Amino acid sequence: MQKTIFALATGNQIAALSVIRVSGEDSERILKKLTLKNTPAERILTLRNFYFPDSNKKLIDRCLVVWMPAPRSYTGEDCIEIYSHGGDAVFQAFFSALMSFPNVRYAEQGEFSKRAIINGKTDLVKAEAVNDLINALTEKQRELATSQFNRGLSIPIMKWRKEILRCMSLIEANIDFSDESDTPESVNITHELLILREQVKSAIKNKDYYELVNKGIKVVFKGKPNAGKSSIFNSILKKQKAIVSNTPGTTRDIIEGQINFKGYAINFYDTAGITKTEDNIEREGIRRTRKLLKEADIILNVTEDDNFLPKSQSKKEWLVLNKIDRSKKIKKNLRGKAILVSAKTGEGLEEILLRIHKEAIKKTKSLNDPKNIILNLRQAKELEEAELNITKALEEKSEEIISEHLRQANRSLERIIGTIDVEEVLGNIFSNFCIGK
């Protein structure tokens, strides 16, 4: 028999309230036994005393509880939610009371969502969106997660699945008939598959938006030693109160810091610059810097020499002239060619941020268009697999093999929404879910 699970759904710090979630067949029995009363009305907050089981009414807490019988609950199972007082001792008391039931255990990460998917209450795309919402640090991340939840991928995936299944049934009917005298001419599904492939392809194109919003826009410093890269990096992060961390890289020369600016996460990377060196560790650092420069959304090429501006290597590389506090007058010809800043006085740093923000808005413009399908890397990988199989089906003559490719494409779509291979896919995804979700 499937165990009944429970978990603290709120953070375990000192707080006015905590929510303890219980899900599974034993929920009602637990509720009755701990409150020594009948089950309260469905889905209505009810005040109850909770007692340790078989304790002669030793009180745990007096608090609200809601009873949500299957299937009208998040997991689709019988559920209770206890709105207990916050704090560790209260939870520990509930913990020991709940653990005294033989078929009850503490939930694993994401296990409530896993059960919700298995019971058809939600799908994987939506569960992932909820997880993103919980983890959102910036306004854009929150917006993206909610729109994923509302308009998400699930709808087009269902549509594409239906189309693939229709094509498969046409082909399979043809295979079945092929021994008979009134064999229909070979079916032509090329047109349908071409349209389908186009739609899948255009969705895959959007995979970078998700990363950009959730992981943050990548801004990498480059420039000669002493130009003031670290000073600018530090000033920006200090001024904006870095929200995540200043983690030193694995080598001595890449330092990363993230800020939340006007709703966007921006990651800054301070690099040591690219120099000729015999030192192995330094070489590794340079290899990483090169890779980082390639992946960057924006490169800030910092210089301190107002007589000679380096040439920008690409559109994503912006010139930054630092230490303008040293010159009495800024040469006219420099304006417009470089962002003029002083890490020392802070002048111009806001300008850098505003420009990055503008670029982030430009890069994520498509997110606002409800017609656009946004997907994360896992979903994109499955869609790429589906696209590959549709292409193979288009190139194939044998109907049996076409059918097999379509079956594979369909499996990729099913993995996206979690109708197959649930355990395997969920195991990976839910390892970064929180326990009470």
- Quick one: 7 or 353, whose CB is closer to ligand GDP? 353
Tell me how far apart the alpha carbons of residues 419 and 355 are, in angstroms, rounded to a whole number: 43
- Quick one: 345 or 431, whose CB is closer to ligand GDP? 345
Reduce the DSSP state of residue 61 to 3 states and report it. strand
Q: Which stretch binds ligand GDP (CB under 6 A): 83-91, 140-148, 223-231, 403-411?
A: 223-231
Please report how close the Cβ of residue 307 comes to ligand GDP at its closest, in angstroms.
Answer: 16
Half-sphere exposure of 122 (CA within 13 A, CB side): 23
Which regions of 276-330 does DSSP assign to beta strands (E)?
Answer: 298-303, 317-321
The total of other beta-carbon atoms located within 10 Å of residue 384's CB is 15
Contact flag: residue 289 with ligand GDP (CB under 6 A):
no
Burial group, residue 408, by CB count within 10 angstroms (0-12, 13-18, 19+):
middle
- Quick one: 125 or 320, whose CB is closer to ligand GDP? 320
Please report how close the Cβ of residue 231 comes to ligand GDP at its closest, in angstroms.
Answer: 3
Reduce the DSSP state of residue 15 to 3 states and report it. coil
Contact flag: residue 22 with ligand GDP (CB under 6 A):
no
* Interface with ligand GDP (CB under 6 A), residue from 140, 197, 229, 405: 229
- Quick one: 132 or 306, whose CB is closer to ligand GDP? 306
Q: Helix H segments across 178-273?
A: 190-204, 207-215, 229-239
Contact flag: residue 323 with ligand GDP (CB under 6 A):
yes
Please report how close the Cβ of residue 145 comes to ligand GDP at its closest, in angstroms.
Answer: 36
Contact flag: residue 386 with ligand GDP (CB under 6 A):
no
Site string for ligand GDP, 338-357 (x = CB under 6 A): ----xxx-------------
Reduce the DSSP state of residue 220 to 3 states and report it. strand
Tell me how far apart the alpha carbons of residues 158 and 145 are, in angstroms, rounded to a whole number: 20
* Interface with ligand GDP (CB under 6 A), residue from 225, 287, 335, 395: 225
Q: Which strands make up the sheet holding 17-23, listed edge to edge? A: 46-51, 59-68, 79-85, 17-23, 4-8, 104-106
Q: Which stretch binds ligand GDP (CB under 6 A): 70-78, 219-227, 274-282, 356-364?
A: 219-227
Question: Residue 108: what residue type?
Answer: E
Please report how close the Cβ of residue 344 comes to ligand GDP at its closest, in angstroms.
Answer: 4
Tell me how far apart the alpha carbons of residues 162 and 291 are, in angstroms, rounded to a whole number: 41
Q: Which stretch binds ligand GDP (CB under 6 A): 226-234, 244-252, 368-376, 388-396?
A: 226-234
CA dihedral over 15, 16, 20, 21, signed as positive or negative: negative
Question: Residue 278: what residue type?
Answer: E
Contact flag: residue 291 with ligand GDP (CB under 6 A):
no
Q: Which stretch binds ligand GDP (CB under 6 A): 62-70, 224-232, 246-254, 331-339?
A: 224-232
- Quick one: 103 or 327, whose CB is closer to ligand GDP? 327
Which regions of 98-236 does DSSP assign to beta strands (E)?
Answer: 104-106, 217-223
Please report how close the Cβ of residue 256 comes to ligand GDP at its closest, in angstroms.
Answer: 15
Tell me how far apart the alpha carbons of residues 132 and 202 are, in angstroms, rounded to a whole number: 23
Contact flag: residue 275 with ligand GDP (CB under 6 A):
no
- Residue 242: C-alpha distances to residues 19, 256, 304, 355, 360 (Å): 31, 10, 25, 19, 18
* Interface with ligand GDP (CB under 6 A), residue from 325, 351, 400, 421: 325
Contact flag: residue 290 with ligand GDP (CB under 6 A):
no
* Interface with ligand GDP (CB under 6 A), residue from 131, 322, 364, 403: 322
Contact flag: residue 248 with ligand GDP (CB under 6 A):
no
Give the torsion through C-alpha atoms of 424, 384, 409, 166, to 10 deg.
Answer: 130
Please report how close the Cβ of residue 230 comes to ligand GDP at its closest, in angstroms.
Answer: 3
Number of residues that bind ligand GDP (CB under 6 A): 15
Please report how close the Cβ of residue 326 comes to ligand GDP at its closest, in angstroms.
Answer: 5
Give the interface with ligand GDP as residue ranges (CB under 6 A).
223, 225-231, 322-323, 325-326, 342-344
